[in-house]
Amino acid sequence: MGTEASFAQMVLNASFVVQLIVLLLIVVSILSWAAIFKKRMALRHARRAADAFEDEFWSGTDLKALYTRLHHREDDAGGLEAMFLAGFQEFLRQRQRGVIDPEQIAGGAQRAMRAALAREAEELDVHLPMLATVGSTSPYIGLFGTVWGIMNAFRALSGAHTATLTQVAPGIAEALITTALGLIAAIPAVIAYNRASSDVDRLLARYEMFSDEFINILQRQSQRLQHHAEQVGTGGNS
């Protein structure tokens, strides 16, 4: 009674091209899982950092004191902290230049925060293109290995007088390994990509909402400064 061939035996008995594709898909799958775990940890850290910053920001803390504290570790700031630093830094810069027009101040801060948001979006998108590529190409790579293996299996039978299922089955089984590995690599990558993309979209929407609210705060402060300057000017002229 024959014993069923193991996975390793089928790979070792396969052609060089099929073996190469199997190795490629195994490496791609390992890299994909590494990217999945890194992405999951990065998004979890980003959410926790956003929660902590918003709790402090909306607790009524002094914005200048918050800016001073965060400015000392500006290189490590990310997410909402980076956007806050960019917007408030531009706000202070325009005040130092003597600008009191609320629209001008708000516009400058908004542009600075938009640039910071673009950098954060680029950072959040890390690993997503790789997962998308693995999810979309792995099945085709596996299918190519299967087609190649089946071609070799039938080519080996071309000189035989009779072809039976027993003769063809081992070659086809070896060829189908690459299709299975392609799906094993692709399915987790597709699921992880869809979930991570959704999480990134929610984070970016949260960042944009904070940007709009912060701009409104800066605009109100600018209006108070403008009103105070106008009062001082009127009192000086009277």
Residue 93: pLDDT over 70: yes
Q: Which residues contact 207 (CB under 8 A, 6 or more apart)?
A: 50, 79, 80, 83, 117, 120
Tokens matching residue 48: 């926790």
The model scores a pTM over 0.75: yes
Q: What is the pLDDT of residue 238?
A: 47
78-84 average pLDDT score: 92
Summarize pLDDT for 17-57 with one digit per residue, the tens: 888 998 999 999 999 999 999 999 999 999 999 999 999 99
In the structure, how many helices (H) and strands (E) does the chain have? Answer: 7, 0
Rounded CA separation 129/98 (Å): 45
